[in-house]
Amino acid sequence: MINKFSPKQLDNFHIVLWLMKDIFWVREEQFWGVLMIMPTVGVAMILTIQSIRQKQGFYSNFAILCWMVADSTWMADEFFVLNIEWLTLGLFALGIASMIYYYVVICNIFKINFVSRIRFLKFES
């Protein structure tokens, strides 16, 4: 069934799953909230895998996947007091790190030429 969706449709469907999971979380409906983790994270994984060859799409989808898993662990921690706040924070940090890597290293938003900078530093010594 997932094969019938275009990438954009799958992305939009993922948003619906995500919102449903969060609505169950806010309403403190543990069964339905936990049940929605699998399709929400599953679609995020599919979107990430499908975008591996596209740099921008991959890093964005990977960050969203980290966000979905972090969001889900946060919800599970609130429902069942698992004391896994450290895992949630780590996953959020991994998502942020992937986007920083994309913008700083891949896109080189600061226009830094690392090789010439290293050569310049050698001549100063």
d(CA 103, CA 111): 11
Residue-by-residue pLDDT tens, the chain, 125 positions: 556 888 889 999 999 999 999 999 999 999 999 999 999 999 999 999 999 999 889 999 999 999 999 999 999 999 999 999 999 999 999 999 999 999 999 998 877 665 555 555 555 55
Q: Is 119 exposed, middle or buried (0-12, 13-18, 19+ CB in 10 A)?
A: exposed
How many residues are present in the chain?
125
Q: What is the distance between the alpha carbons of residues 64 and 22, in angstroms, rounded to a whole number? A: 15
Query: Shortest CA distance to 2 belongs to which of 44, 63, 35?
Result: 44
> CA–CA separation, 70 vs 94, rounded Å?
10
Whether the model pTM is above 0.75: yes
